[in-house]
Structure 1
Amino acid sequence: MQKKYLIKKNSEYRKIYKHGISLANWYTVIFACKNDRNTKRFGFSVSKKIGKAVKRNLVRRRLKEICRLNNQWFLDGYDYIIIARKGIEGISFSSLQSGMEKLAYRISKLMVGKLKA
């Protein structure tokens, strides 16, 4: 994933947590918030509860790859933060991908509904 599509600053994370909406499943939580750009950006958060650095980096790489391969799931003009929950390190890539697809669909639908209201 290219750097221009990543959220890096702590202030941007806090803004998304404060003003965005969230949805969750067993292994991930997604926060989404409208941005002032025409592109989508992603942030990833993997807690120390997941494990040591090797496991955390593996989980982060998996999440980034899912977002990179399935960019069409997410709406342009929004920032997304994906948070890993405990237990994510034990599931397969394909089941993580299918769970993320359902979650991305639900949050996109919610954001479009919020725009119409």
Structure 2
Amino acid sequence: MPIETRIERDLKRRTLTALSVYVLDEKNRELHIRTAKHGPELVTTARVVTVDGAFVTFEVYGDFSKNLVRTLDRCTEKNVRAQHERVLARLDDLVRKVQAFYAAKNARS
């Protein structure tokens, strides 16, 4: 399944952010993969959120969240796009980790 990536430029902070959204299941869960400058590092994170109409929720310690890649690269569009695409190339593996996380969570409850 192709995943669309949106790259946004924040002129106020002079930075770029790449965001890809992958719909996980019928429970309105989405996997958000984001690459952005965080301090001196260019960081790519994955986070599962629940979408309910116009609201997006994330349960701290209850929903999947992980820093995937951290580099000291400059925040140029070329670097943001390249780092983000490297993570997206492993999307299937990431989705399996997310599914395992929620399977383990359901087994505990």
Q: TM-score normalised to the size of structure 2?
A: 0.35
Larger Rg: 2
- Structure whose residues are more often strand by fraction: 2
Query: Higher relative contact order by CA 8 Å / sep ≥ 6: 1 or 2?
Result: 1
Q: TM-score normalised to the size of structure 1?
A: 0.34
